[in-house]
Amino acid sequence: MAKSKLGFDLTPPSKEQIDQLAARLDPEARRILLNHGTEPPFCGKFDEYEDEGIYTCALCALPLFNSRAKFHSGSGWPSFYESIGEGHIHYLRDVSHGMVRTEIRCGRCDAHLGHVFDDGPRPTGQRYCMNSVAMDFVPEGQALPDLLQRDDPVQVKI
């Protein structure tokens, strides 16, 4: 089993598990997470969201961002200056749409999340530009979900 430095299981789900997880998504979430789509700007539920907690992958529930790393970029999409931990996000070169960008995907299930750019605030200078439908939110103090129902779920406090 592959674990992140924070103790989360990064073992990719099986095809059957992905299919089960995807079955609970609405068509727009499926389009974005599974087919690398993008939601329109200024319409996502988390663009102006202010509560404290953890943003998780909408497909497999892997923690992605702490709300303390969120900032208002003015881009129309929720933005963060750092991910929650090494291994929780994969980075891929994206040359679609006639430009070079860095696509970000979930470090466990490989779902499309958004893109990262080098125009963010200090201390990282990064702007993780996320699709709201690619994330769920767990309020501070609540247990993180275990959607994969693995034998040894990790209950890590972040």
**Annotation says 129 is catalytic:** yes
- Ligand-binding annotation for 43, yes or no, is no
Residue 63 CA to its chain's centroid (Å): 7
Cα separation, 46 vs 53, whole angstroms? 12
Residue 57 CA to its chain's centroid (Å): 4
Catalytic-role residue among 21, 62, 69, 129: 129
- Ligand-binding annotation for 106, yes or no, is yes
Q: How many residues in total does the chain contain?
A: 158
- Ligand-binding annotation for 109, yes or no, is yes
Cα separation, 74 vs 47, whole angstroms? 9
Q: Could you tell me where the beta strands, DSSP code E, fall in the chain?
A: 53-57, 63-66, 70-71, 79-80, 89-94, 101-106, 112-117, 127-130, 135-139
Annotated binding site for Zn(2+): 57, 60, 106, 109
Would you please indicate which residues are annotated as catalytic (active-site) residues?
129
Annotated binding site: 57, 60, 106, 109
